[in-house]
Amino acid sequence: MSKIKNGLFVVATPIGNLGDMSARAQEILTKVDKIACEDTRVTGKLLSRFSIITPMTVYNDHNAGKIRPGLIADLMHGAAIALVSDAGMPAISDPGYKLIQACINDSIPLTVIPGPNAALTGLVQSGLPTNRFLFQGYLPVKSGARLSELEELSRIPATLVVYESGKRLAKSLADMASVLGDRPAAVARELTKLHEEVRRGSLAELANLYGAELAPRGEIVVVIAPPEAPSLPNELELEAMLAGRLSHLSVKDAASEVAQITQIPRKILYDIAVRLLHEKDGR
C-alpha cells in the first residue's frame, strides 16, 4: 500500500447509508496515523464496518481548544491526521473550521475528501431552486432570537437551508411562516436512511401538519423557497410615481428617488421625467 503524504485530511462520512462511504475516504482513513473524531463510539462503528484499525482521538466542541495545539504539533512533525465528524462533512455545523484555519496559518498541507452532506442532499431533494441558496445551519433555540434571525433571512433572495430537530420543528415552521411569509418549502427527514421522508408544501401547511402530530423522530433539514421577486411597475405606474415627485423635486432628484424604490436604472427614469415635463409644458 503506497504511503500517504503528511497533513490534515478532512474526510466526509455517510449521513446514514453506509454505502455512501467513498473508496477514497476508506483509503485515507486506513492510511493516516490517527483519526480525530467527535465521538469514538460513533466513528468506531464506522471504522469496524470497513475493517479500519487506525487509532482515534477525540476532537469535539468540548475539548477542541485543548486538543488543537497537540494536533497541530503532530502535523508540523510530519504526521498524517484525518478529521471526521459523527456524520457528513466536518466543519459544516460540526467541529473543524478552527483546525483547518490553524493548518492554513501554519502552512500544513490540507486535503478535503468530499462526500455526503445533509444540507446539499436536502436542497436537491426538495426540488426548490438550487441556483442560489443560503445555508443557515441551526436557527437559535429561543423563539425571540429565532424570530429576529428569520427577520434578517427574510430579505435574502435565495433558497434557505436550515438544520432543525424534531422537537422544535413545528414551532420553528410556525415562526418561519409568520416571518418569511407562506413560501413553498420542504421538510427532509432521515435522508439516505431506511425511513427517509420528504414532505413538501407551503410553510403554513407544513407548520399545521407537524403541529398536529407528535414530534417526528430522526434528523431533519428544512428547505425554504426564495421570496417572490417584487413585480416591476409598468410605465403608467412609473409616470404616476414621477409626476407626484416632479411637483416638488427636480427631474434628477425625482428620478433618483424612484430608482431607489424600484431598482430601475436612473437614466431610464430621468428620460421619462423629462418627457413628462415637456408634455406638461405642451412642447
Residues 92/13, Cβ–Cβ less than 8 Å: no
- Stretch binding ligand SAM (CB under 6 A), from 25-33, 112-120, 128-136, 249-257: 112-120
Separation of alpha carbons 117 and 30, rounded Å? 22
Strand partners, 220: 164, 189
Separation of alpha carbons 37 and 45, rounded Å? 12
Q: Which of 37, 188, 203, 254 touches ligand SAM by CB under 6 A?
A: 188
Residue number with CB closer to ligand SAM (222 or 242): 222
Residues 59/37, Cβ–Cβ less than 8 Å: yes
- The verdict on 223 binding ligand SAM (CB under 6 A) reads no
Residues 185/239, Cβ–Cβ less than 8 Å: no
Q: Which of 9, 59, 163, 210 touches ligand SAM by CB under 6 A?
A: 163
- The verdict on 60 binding ligand SAM (CB under 6 A) reads no
Separation of alpha carbons 232 and 238, rounded Å? 9
Q: Running DSSP on this structure, what letter comes out for residue 22?
A: -
- Smallest distance, ligand SAM to C-beta of residue 87, A: 5
- Smallest distance, ligand SAM to C-beta of residue 93, A: 4
Q: Which of 174, 191, 224, 225 touches ligand SAM by CB under 6 A?
A: 191
Burial class (CB within 10 angstroms; exposed 0-12, middle 13-18, buried 19+) of 280: exposed
- The verdict on 22 binding ligand SAM (CB under 6 A) reads no
Chain residues binding ligand SAM by CB under 6 A are: 15-16, 85, 87-89, 92-94, 117-119, 163-164, 188-193, 219-221
